[in-house]
Structure 1
């Protein structure tokens, strides 16, 4: 890729992915139950080798993958991204045993991963986490079958107590990357990351009825046992594990948004070029043409900023936090603008259940909040600029 355009092979790959999303994945997504993990869809993503790409691709390739899938099937894109978000800490900070136990299952679409960071009182301010990991001075406690045997308790163990909220794939995930306060220092310096299988004693959850086709839920930790073998990285270094994961995935959240914006833009071009109006077609009206031009310009600007942020990540640039925040901010805000105006130009037809734009209108809102709301991205950008 140059600074301004993808290469021919990249364009061909993206076209292949868009067709795959529409032809192979969309039918599976349509059969899924809203608010539930679509395991057949995950299995298909594994069989097609797309989940493997999440863990072997650089940031730019991950962006192209997410943008292309989002264009044809947002549910497939989201299922793929959540596997990456939940399991990337295992790849980057897990032990050889943790990787061997979970990553092949995640890549095959047989195990469902989840990233458990947010809490009822700690969303945007992730360093304010309240989930407590208290040293366990009692006897060793048994984990579950899926958890891989005994865990927690005894010397070096902890008990997790508290709640996580608004966790994607909860409560149906098979394991959770959980961030808890172990108290080695104040704020972010006292957070530790753990890999917690879903069948650990004391762990329960409930679904939340959200504006989302994928599951989002609340998790309750009632003295859940974890031990040294469940650590992801070092005690007190969990916040860095979380931020490293988010810095990788934030540009690709922008790519997801760009994919939705491009789908809405293409639908609008086709509709306004054919819809009769005032003796011609809608596209003949200057007001319509100017609005479509603005939609296209903003989408292209967002796309290029996303690619630039991904390129900076792949190059090991020191300004990744700023670039990632800029990419997510502009792309998600742009997608909201483009989808909203696409609905307006389509009129009532776009509000019918099952219409592409009705679907996108529901999907496009959440990315402005999760993985750092737009206001948080602006704060990150300002801090980096003044650093």
Structure 2
């Protein structure tokens, strides 16, 4: 009997890209997975980050030297998919560095970029993206962390005294062990998203504390408490009131790549199931001879490939546009939401089906599918839950319908 080789998609990928993906899978299995196994569950693995830095992989996600160019979405997706296949821990560590440092590359000052980005790209500094709050997870516009003007300052363009941050952030990846946090707080220029400002807050600021959370999947995740933490204009990422745009540009880049992470896990589960079905004796033959199992595998493969193609399409659309739609470009928002939605829901289905095909063995601690089963659940929630993605997609569909009606002079849609 032969071992089923990992399958890859040829959509929009050159032979060089396919070879690079294969190399990443090998690196994940041979160099990163053994290192990850030595790390402490639920903590930032700095040794793993240093290895990712030495391999040059972090520099593909976080610019390590001027000019501080935005990462290419397709490169990010290929990285995340390939590493997720062979070492999900390394994939997560890499992605969180990119998410936490992305706003610095996008909107940081030259001083902020020079101070932090080379260190993050080398795996020597840990970044974190601090958006979610106890009452504002997927609804990012509902943030309550207050940035109060200090010493009589106005908080406006002429304010030089800075702000004091007071409140709580939770479900923050890499907290409380990160070296700095990209923090989104309410400065009140306007209601809703227009009153949110982004700050770069080093972890050693007086008044900033945190504690870890014990999660289903053993990721570094925690809660941060801000007790009048002082920030100044030198800590701003962008302009006061512009933080929501900073957050959305980062999320619109990373949402398709969350889908890539999910596709990598789905492919690992599928390939394991193919091999198992070929080898496992059952009813006088092997599992692959049972039509019910064969059809299940075909369904898993079809859904995985469909998700992969949607992820690649969303990434290519982002790269073709230069990411200019990050503040509300309908096409990029819709494509990113569709990619994340389909890929994460598909991965949940594929991993669950793989567990069923493997039977009780897959439920043992340490089994590949036991680990994937715990890992695959969270992506349907973070960076916008599946329900939020559906709402975004519907909103953009109706926006396009209204735009078309305005251009043709019609009202009420095609069925009015």
TM-score (norm 1): 0.94
CA-to-partner distance for each residue in 1:96-144, whole Å, 9 max, x for gaps?
Answer: 00000000110010100000000000011110000000000179xxxxx
Q: CA deviation at 1:55?
A: 2.8
CA-to-partner distance for each residue in 1:212-237, whole Å, 9 max, x for gaps?
Answer: 22211000000000000000000000
State yes or no: 1:137 paired with 2:151. yes
| Counterpart position of 1:270 | 275
Map 1:208-227 to 2 at 5 A. 208-227=213-232
RMSD: 1.3
Q: CA deviation at 1:5?
A: 4.6
Map 1:223-302 to 2 at 5 A. 223-302=228-307
- Contact 1:272/1:283, CA 8 A, preserved across alignment: yes
- Contact 1:137/1:155, CA 8 A, preserved across alignment: no
- Contact 1:160/1:180, CA 8 A, preserved across alignment: yes
State yes or no: 1:109 paired with 2:127. no
| Counterpart position of 2:170 | 165
Match for residue 77 of structure 1 among 80, 86, 91? 91
Report the secondary structure of 1:194's partner residue: strand
| Counterpart position of 2:6 | none
| Counterpart position of 1:304 | 309
- Contact 1:114/1:168, CA 8 A, preserved across alignment: yes
| Counterpart position of 1:10 | 17
CA distance in 2, matches of 1:162, 1:212: 26
| Counterpart position of 1:142 | none
Match for residue 127 of structure 1 among 120, 141, 145? 141
How many residues are matched? Answer: 372
- Contact 2:62/2:117, CA 8 A, preserved across alignment: no
| Counterpart position of 1:95 | 109
CA distance in 1, matches of 2:298, 2:372: 20
- Contact 2:160/2:233, CA 8 A, preserved across alignment: no
Query: Unpaired runs of 5+ in structure 2?
Result: 1-8, 64-70, 154-158, 400-416
| Counterpart position of 1:148 | none
CA distance in 1, matches of 2:129, 2:317: 24
- Contact 1:3/1:308, CA 8 A, preserved across alignment: no
| Counterpart position of 1:327 | 339
Match for residue 50 of structure 1 among 54, 57, 62? 57
| Counterpart position of 1:382 | 394
Query: Unpaired runs of 5+ in structure 1?
Result: 140-153
